[in-house]
Chain A
Amino acid sequence: MESLNIIPSFLPIGISSPPALFVFFLTFTFFLHIIFVNLTLGGSLLLLSSKYISKIYGDNNYNMIAEELGYLNTFNISLTVTTGVAPLLFVQTIYGNFFYTSSFLLSFKWLFVLAAVIFAYYFYYLYKMKPLYIRYSGGKGIIFIVLAALLFLYVAFMLVSNTVLSTHPEAWKEVYLNKRAFFDLPTLLPRYIHFVFAATAFAGLFLMVYSRMRKSFSKELKEKMYSFGKKSFFVVTLAQIPVGIWLLLSHEKEIMMLLMGESLLGTVSFIIALIAAAAALAVVLLKKDNIYLFAGLGVVITIFMVLIRRTIENGYFSKYVNIYNMETNPQWGIFIIFLVLLVAVLGILGFTLFKINRELKPENK
């Protein structure tokens, strides 16, 4: 099989821990990353929607929702980039030979991701700070969010493409020789749509929870923000049903079966995620007003979707290599330092946030 020849072999150096540890940290840090990805991408799309609603119905509350999302998203972009570095590191550690090759095949399209994020980030700051004449202009800089959202959709498309391409070495030769387009891979389009919808639904859930947390908002604004988040979540999650089925069926049968009995983790995760999504829809329909329940369900769905993703990707990779056969040359000292640092820094950041929250004046809360 020629595709086996062109998959670069493992490096002879040996990785510095057992592979399972990297799989764990890849999954864990990707979970942190995807939360902020969802907020950034989904938040951008909801920002545009609420701005549009405010223009059509002349309701200033929706304009304030858009402004608030603009304010929040500069933080989310920063944290998306920051939390994205760790999974990038770990995916290179265990799947570098796949990931490097797919990045190579995407070439400038992949590199442009960096420029796209830089521009989108500055566009967000232009919208947030409204320097120069922007605050007096008719759209108050909304054009920058239109551009930023397009750039983020591009970035998401490239990230999904790179992942899918890395899991399909059998397509590499044809893509390299320009006989086949990378976006022709069967799971790519449904996966991308599924992902963009999920991000939007997540951002909707977030708005519901956030509206109840801000003390300084007027009652009317809180209610509008809550119901806007709720509707966004509900509609998009309903739309996920056909998209999810499409994505599931687009996989090869043996991969699909990993979620239907072949893999215990995959199957259990799939069942829990479906139940949690159905429960979230039901809770919204029943008009339950419990933000802890919503937040909990959102996190549960995300965790298990991340596990499903890991199962599917491991399934594809294991057709070609067994990462558990990689040579290891364990370096435990530095691993323990990493672990201690991680716990310490998360603790310090938590403590600092608590301190800030206690000192902030009520009008800033």
Chain B
Amino acid sequence: MDFPFWIHPYISGGQLIASIAILHVFISHFAVGMGLYVVLAEQKAVKNEDGELLKFVKTNSSLILFISAILGALTGVGIWFSIALVSPAGTGSLISIFVWGWASEWVFFVLEISALLMYYYTWDKISHKTHIFIGWLYFIGAFFSLVIIAGIIAFQLTPGTWNTDRTFWSAFFNASYLPQVVGRFGISLILAAVYSTLVLSFTKNERVKKTAGHFSGVFAAAGFILTFGGFYWWEISLPQNIQGLLSGGNAILTNFFRYASFTALGLAIVSLFFTFVIPKKINIVVAVILMVTGLYSFGYYEFARERARKPFIIMDYMYANGILKSEVSRLNKDGILSEADWTLLGKPDTKISKGRAVFEAECVSCHEIEGYNALKPKVQGMGEQDLAFFLTMLDSNPLMPPFVGTETERKALAAYINKEVNGGS
């Protein structure tokens, strides 16, 4: 918590990360699925000596180049940039634990991007055999990126025995890891099928449209089986209390998880119908509808997963505001402001400004007074005394961390919130 905090009136930390991350996952998963799609489709086209299908595959591979290698790669770096700005302590902890895992993922990233460049620029210039070999290299690079990153994401929610033994392997092979790999690989296959409809909608050759449409349908079908299976497995792999939150215990979480499932089901029906039954009718409108539905479905799931580990950034270890669970009792004695030096810089020594400093140190990583996840509607009608009392039982909400700090700090925070919300003095 002795890091400075991201505070901007126009975009909160959560919004900043979400806006970059949602775009990134939508592209990065596509990059995995499409890798398999193009290489298998190329094999099929070469085997059947189908030049037209080969052209279709080539256009699909240009989607990977222009979307994944540029926007995908840079939004990936963007997640690094943004989480480091918003949750430096959380990011630093994850890096300390997983640095060599991330370094290994980087090796696969190098393989992925290098193979992609070689694959795209050697179309029609080298033998099919070598070209397909490079295609497989690309897919292996992309797939193993997913295999590694899934471990780190799953760890945050289910760190399991890492909390006692602190080893890399117990952190990585955690309870929800394999379900994440299966579910996310399923999403990758669905997204490959969805993105391919974009190319299909511009394909004039009806025979290719039918062949490739069916091919996309097979990807979509396999993807939906893996996705629904993987995420059902994921849900039952979670601790009982989180399962409870996702299935009725918490309205927002439950709704997000349901929306994700229902939109995915809708996506399944529409995409399978178009690719298998009427592939020739696929046009740009259908493709855009499929893409937007896919983005929503995936977005809801990622939001649900992120919220499920609240109030922690690493379950049972570090709270979302960067405070370690193990440090709470010490900070209750010494005061949060004894460590949050940045929040006091340049501020006068008054009760209100101390309250504001506590707000910046503890609350601002998730809440604003107005705007994102706003406090105002949550505490409307409470006076300063009520607020001070309310703060003592913050963690009666299972998604909230406890208030951390001394009694003076708690009263100062109450005074600050009261002033901001009720205009008191």
A residues adjacent to B (C-beta < 8 A): 5-6, 8-9, 11-17, 22, 25, 75, 78-79, 81-86, 88-90, 92-93, 96-97, 99-101, 103-105, 107-108, 110-111, 113-114, 117-118, 121-122, 125, 173, 176-177, 329, 331, 333-335, 337-338, 341-342, 345, 348-349, 352-353, 355-356, 359-361, 364
* Interface core residue of A85, A108, A349 (most chain B CB under 10 Å): A85
Interchain nearest-CB distance for A328 vs B (Å): 10
CA distance A81 to B167 in the complex (A): 31
Quick one: closest B residue to A118, CB to CB?
Answer: B74
For the A-B complex with A103-B81, A107-B6 known, give 4 more contacts whose Cβ atoms are closer than 8 Å.
A100-B88, A111-B81, A349-B115, A352-B134
CA distance A110 to B111 in the complex (A): 28
Residues of chain A within 8 A of B103, CB atoms compared: 25, 86, 89-90, 338
Interchain nearest-CB distance for B43 vs A (Å): 18
Task: For B125, give its contact among A99, A341, A355, A364 (CB under 8 Å).
Answer: A364
**10 closest A-B pairs by CB:** A100-B88, A331-B168, A359-B126, A334-B100, A13-B96, A338-B104, A177-B346, A341-B107, A8-B2, A96-B92
A176 B85 Cβ-Cβ under 8 A? no
For the complex, is B15 an interface residue (Cβ under 8 Å from A)?
no
Residues of chain B within 8 A of A111, CB atoms compared: 16, 78, 81-82, 85
Residues of chain B within 8 A of A78, CB atoms compared: 69, 73, 113, 117
CA distance A125 to B100 in the complex (A): 34
CA distance A177 to B4 in the complex (A): 13
A92 B71 Cβ-Cβ under 8 A? no
B92 A81 Cβ-Cβ under 8 A? no
B91 A92 Cβ-Cβ under 8 A? yes
Residues of chain B within 8 A of A331, CB atoms compared: 100, 167-168
Quick one: closest A residue to B317, CB to CB?
Answer: A13
B81 A110 Cβ-Cβ under 8 A? yes
Interchain nearest-CB distance for A132 vs B (Å): 15
Given A100-B92, A104-B6, A356-B126, also A16-B100 (CB < 8 A): yes
Residues of chain A within 8 A of B228, CB atoms compared: none
A–B Cβ pairs within 8 angstroms, 15 of them: A6-B2, A6-B4, A11-B92, A14-B96, A25-B103, A75-B117, A78-B73, A85-B80, A93-B95, A96-B88, A104-B85, A107-B8, A114-B20, A356-B122, A360-B125
B74 A11 Cβ-Cβ under 8 A? no
Residues of chain B within 8 A of A342, CB atoms compared: 107
Given A14-B96, A93-B95, A342-B107, also A349-B114 (CB < 8 A): yes
* Interface core residue of B4, B20, B81 (most chain A CB under 10 Å): B4
B324 A12 Cβ-Cβ under 8 A? yes
Interchain nearest-CB distance for A365 vs B (Å): 10
Interface of B is mostly: helix
Q: Mark B5-27, 1 if CB is under 8 A from A, else 0.
A: 11010000000100010000000
Residues of chain A within 8 A of B73, CB atoms compared: 78, 81-82
For the complex, is B345 an interface residue (Cβ under 8 Å from A)?
yes
Residues of chain A within 8 A of B107, CB atoms compared: 338, 341-342, 345
Residues of chain B within 8 A of A337, CB atoms compared: 100, 104
CA distance A123 to B267 in the complex (A): 34
Residues of chain A within 8 A of B84, CB atoms compared: 92, 96, 99-100, 103
Residues of chain A within 8 A of B104, CB atoms compared: 334, 337-338, 341
B3 A5 Cβ-Cβ under 8 A? no
B92 A82 Cβ-Cβ under 8 A? no
For the complex, is B332 an interface residue (Cβ under 8 Å from A)?
no
Interchain nearest-CB distance for A169 vs B (Å): 12
Residues of chain B within 8 A of A14, CB atoms compared: 96, 166
Given A107-B8, A114-B78, also A359-B99 (CB < 8 A): no
We find that the number of chain B residues with CB closer than 8 angstroms to chain A is 66
CA distance A12 to B330 in the complex (A): 15
Within 352-373 of B, Cβ neighbours of A (below 8 Å) are at: none
Residues of chain B within 8 A of A96, CB atoms compared: 84, 88, 91-92, 95
A92 B92 Cβ-Cβ under 8 A? yes
Residues of chain A within 8 A of B109, CB atoms compared: 82, 85
Quick one: closest B residue to A96, CB to CB?
Answer: B92
A88 B80 Cβ-Cβ under 8 A? yes
Residues of chain B within 8 A of A113, CB atoms compared: 81
For the complex, is B334 an interface residue (Cβ under 8 Å from A)?
no
Interchain nearest-CB distance for B323 vs A (Å): 12
Quick one: closest A residue to B112, CB to CB?
Answer: A82
B89 A11 Cβ-Cβ under 8 A? yes
For the complex, is B102 an interface residue (Cβ under 8 Å from A)?
yes
Within 52-105 of B, Cβ neighbours of A (below 8 Å) are at: 66, 69-71, 73-78, 80-82, 84-85, 88-89, 91-93, 95-97, 99-104
Given A110-B81, A121-B70, also A85-B93 (CB < 8 A): no
B66 A114 Cβ-Cβ under 8 A? no
CA distance A364 to B11 in the complex (A): 49
* Interface core residue of B8, B78, B95 (most chain A CB under 10 Å): B95
B111 A348 Cβ-Cβ under 8 A? yes
For the complex, is B48 an interface residue (Cβ under 8 Å from A)?
no
Given A89-B106, A334-B101, A337-B104, also A352-B82 (CB < 8 A): no
Quick one: closest A residue to B172, CB to CB?
Answer: A334
B6 A176 Cβ-Cβ under 8 A? no
Quick one: closest B residue to A122, CB to CB?
Answer: B70
CA distance A349 to B112 in the complex (A): 10
